[in-house]
A and B are shown apart, each in its own frame.
Chain A
């Protein structure tokens, strides 16, 4: 077992609501090992992006609040860090690659200047040294002509190049953990494959732990070691990618999988959308939050919230479901 790089216990994100405040991410817990790529998957509104931001100590605007029991990165505890502490930790210990590289980069500042300023903020004081390091980083993420790249403005780069610049920025201080929020959603398939390869190589060579936030379960299964499935602000299933993809235990996971268009050699299975909508925060049904969309729900599911427990005795698998699907059971929702 490789070293644990990230340990999260009881991480909640609360938003002010009428009367009380509302846990839009509810007591989430997981671990990342060194060199591991783990996917956090779910539909829009399931809380995955809020979880990603919370890992960097960023509460949602306006008035959002984080409640974290344990957040350990490389052995150090971050749960009680203040904003000033977080400003130093972000980028250095844990870094974010966001979905939209065009809005994440400042449009009026040259790429190189932005990268250099990140490096200088984190301890490389000499401008020349920082510039040399910036060129090196741009080369490492596979950008041709790093020196020329440094002089360009973000709009002069293609989407794939911008995403590489953001990755270079995220990797600049050699953080232990990289959170990548839908890093390839805006990209073409060919570029997508290269960006994912870049992240994998980095994880393997440097032992960086990567949390890949995505709505695409098939991408998660192809690229990641493990998958965490989120619904209604909770982790409802987790396990090794191959095993989870082969036999999803939670009906939500199975439903998500049936919704992903496949590219098999022969005739692909027809996609089946999940019934219903993700409920708005605060409108989850009592009991299991998925029961109003679940084909397997019965009385207990409407009464009691299931806990995340070892699934069917399967190795390393956990599921929060009263009526999980057994392996081999033809139980996709329709």
Chain B
């Protein structure tokens, strides 16, 4: 799966991104703190971490729904953060999204057909006479029949609604879909169906995905590359098969152990993540790290190469003093 050679310009690049939220008492909270990512054309990048790690803020900043406090976003080499809003809107067709809760993302008062016609009208896609054909093609891709078109969202199951949300995201022929916890509100079989459809959409339309999930097994099913976030920072990133087979960061190791374990002691991490308002000094993970050393509480580690594949293209990076 990781045989693509890197092109000179990635489809989407995040460089040293910082996203701030206002906190009570005039404080500022760094939800995303110096995160860099590269998304290759047609690839699936998984972003994983616990709640509050900043993964949703990252997604929203990439979509232009949250202001960027520092850093840059590049879409096909074009810097988005400095674009005038009118020109930024011009890039929106290419980057679509699917959010967690399908019940809230579909208008209850519109039929499925009306919901699916919306992006076609918004982006002035083709002539009106071509719409039914486009809608039928996308519906088929997400595994739903046209008999749903005249129904309302409340007549659909959660899994069907989420596949409609996926269909809506696919209609403007985007290069990239940002999917924030797209399956976490669904039960296993509905989840499996959405996973299958994301895989199918990538194959059929070449759409790239940024897949955000707290569920490592879901990321494992789909992602080519993985980035692990903790308290607003990236702690590890690399090709999915490498990160899952040989997780380098103690946090990634603990996440995997917790997900594979049976709840026996030692399989989980102690306590909960510290407040992002007052991140620990040094390595942000040191307060929960089973292998923390003296310097971890003083020095913030930089990225180190944990492993490199043969052609040196897909690098496995880790941010941990153990690797220095």
A271 touching B195 by the CB < 8 A rule?
A: yes
Partner of A215, one of B188, B244, B254: B188
B149-167 to A contact mask, C-beta < 8 Å, 1/0: 0000000011000000000
Which residues in A have their C-beta under 8 angstroms from that of B268?
Answer: 190-194, 197
- Chain A nearest CB from B59 CB (Å) reads 17
B166-190 to A contact mask, C-beta < 8 Å, 1/0: 0000000000000000000001111
**A160 contacts the other chain (CB 8 A):** yes
When C-beta atoms are compared, the residue in chain B nearest to A267 turns out to be B241
Q: Which residues in chain B, 170-216, are within 8 Å of chain A measured between CB atoms?
A: 187-193, 195-196, 199, 214-216
Which residues in B have their C-beta under 8 angstroms from that of A192?
Answer: 258, 263, 268
Assembly CA distance A215 to B185 (angstroms)? 11
Q: What are 11 contact pairs spanning A and B, CB under 8 A? A: A44-B158, A161-B272, A189-B216, A190-B50, A193-B261, A200-B264, A217-B188, A259-B189, A261-B195, A263-B220, A270-B221
A193 touching B263 by the CB < 8 A rule?
A: yes
Which residues in A have their C-beta under 8 angstroms from that of B259?
Answer: 189, 193, 263
B263 touching A194 by the CB < 8 A rule?
A: yes
Q: Assuming the A-B contacts A190-B254, A268-B221, A277-B157, are A196 and B263 also in contact, with contact meaning beta carbons closer than 8 angstroms in the complex?
A: yes
Which residues in A have their C-beta under 8 angstroms from that of B196?
Answer: 271-273
Q: Which residues in chain A, 222-271, are within 8 Å of chain B measured between CB atoms?
A: 222-223, 255-256, 258-263, 265-268, 270-271
Assembly CA distance A267 to B158 (angstroms)? 29
**B83 contacts the other chain (CB 8 A):** no
A259-B188, A270-B199, A277-B157 are known; give 16 further A-B pairs, CB within 8 A. Answer: A44-B190, A158-B272, A159-B51, A189-B215, A196-B262, A217-B188, A222-B260, A222-B261, A259-B189, A260-B217, A261-B191, A261-B215, A261-B218, A263-B216, A273-B196, A274-B189
Report, as a range, how many residues of chain A touch the other chain.
35 or more
Q: Assuming the A-B contacts A200-B263, A256-B189, are A263 and B258 also in contact, with contact meaning beta carbons closer than 8 angstroms in the complex?
A: no
Which residues in A have their C-beta under 8 angstroms from that of B267?
Answer: 193, 197
**A43 contacts the other chain (CB 8 A):** yes
Which residues in B have their C-beta under 8 angstroms from that of A216?
Answer: 188
Assembly CA distance A273 to B216 (angstroms)? 18
**B29 contacts the other chain (CB 8 A):** no
**A188 contacts the other chain (CB 8 A):** yes
Query: What DSSP secondary structure best describes chain B's contact surface?
Result: helix
Which residues in B have their C-beta under 8 angstroms from that of A190?
Answer: 50, 254-255, 258, 268-269
B192 touching A271 by the CB < 8 A rule?
A: yes
**B245 contacts the other chain (CB 8 A):** yes
Partner of B264, one of A197, A217, A266, A274: A197
A131-163 to B contact mask, C-beta < 8 Å, 1/0: 000000000000010000000000000111100
Report, as a range, how many residues of chain B touch the other chain.
35 or more
B262 touching A222 by the CB < 8 A rule?
A: yes
- Chain B nearest CB from A163 CB (Å) reads 12
Q: Enumerate chain A interface residues (CB-CB to B < 8 A).
A: 43-44, 144, 158-161, 188-197, 199-200, 215-218, 222-223, 255-256, 258-263, 265-268, 270-274, 277
B260 touching A263 by the CB < 8 A rule?
A: yes
Which residues in B have their C-beta under 8 angstroms from that of A188?
Answer: 50-51, 214
Q: Enumerate chain B interface residues (CB-CB to A < 8 A).
A: 50-51, 157-158, 187-193, 195-196, 199, 214-218, 220-221, 241, 244-245, 254-256, 258-265, 267-269, 271-272
When C-beta atoms are compared, the residue in chain A nearest to B199 turns out to be A270
Which residues in B have their C-beta under 8 angstroms from that of A262?
Answer: 217, 220
Which residues in A have their C-beta under 8 angstroms from that of B187?
Answer: 43-44, 215
When C-beta atoms are compared, the residue in chain A nearest to B160 turns out to be A277
Assembly CA distance A277 to B159 (angstroms)? 10
When C-beta atoms are compared, the residue in chain A nearest to B196 turns out to be A273
Which residues in B have their C-beta under 8 angstroms from that of A259?
Answer: 188-189, 191-192
Assembly CA distance A34 to B261 (angstroms)? 24
Assembly CA distance A188 to B217 (angstroms)? 13
Q: Assuming the A-B contacts A43-B188, A259-B188, are A268 and B262 also in contact, with contact meaning beta carbons closer than 8 angstroms in the complex?
A: no
- Chain A nearest CB from B191 CB (Å) reads 7
Which residues in B have their C-beta under 8 angstroms from that of A260?
Answer: 188, 192, 217
A189 touching B189 by the CB < 8 A rule?
A: no
When C-beta atoms are compared, the residue in chain A nearest to B262 turns out to be A222
- Chain B nearest CB from A286 CB (Å) reads 23
Which residues in B have their C-beta under 8 angstroms from that of A215?
Answer: 187-188
- Chain B nearest CB from A24 CB (Å) reads 17
Assembly CA distance A216 to B193 (angstroms)? 15
- Chain B nearest CB from A264 CB (Å) reads 9
- Chain A nearest CB from B264 CB (Å) reads 7
A189 touching B241 by the CB < 8 A rule?
A: no
B51 touching A273 by the CB < 8 A rule?
A: no
- Chain B nearest CB from A334 CB (Å) reads 12
When C-beta atoms are compared, the residue in chain B nearest to A280 turns out to be B157
Which residues in B have their C-beta under 8 angstroms from that of A218?
Answer: 217
- Chain B nearest CB from A296 CB (Å) reads 17
Assembly CA distance A265 to B257 (angstroms)? 11
Assembly CA distance A189 to B218 (angstroms)? 12
- Chain B nearest CB from A301 CB (Å) reads 20
Assembly CA distance A210 to B289 (angstroms)? 32
A263 touching B264 by the CB < 8 A rule?
A: no
Q: Assuming the A-B contacts A259-B188, A266-B245, are A191 and B272 also in contact, with contact meaning beta carbons closer than 8 angstroms in the complex?
A: yes
Q: Which of B190, B196, B256 has the most CB of A within 10 A?
A: B190
Which residues in B have their C-beta under 8 angstroms from that of A200?
Answer: 263-264
Which residues in B have their C-beta under 8 angstroms from that of A195?
Answer: 263
- Chain B nearest CB from A316 CB (Å) reads 20
A222 touching B217 by the CB < 8 A rule?
A: no
Ranked 10 nearest A-B pairs via Cβ: A196-B263, A193-B268, A261-B217, A259-B192, A273-B192, A273-B193, A197-B263, A193-B258, A215-B187, A188-B50
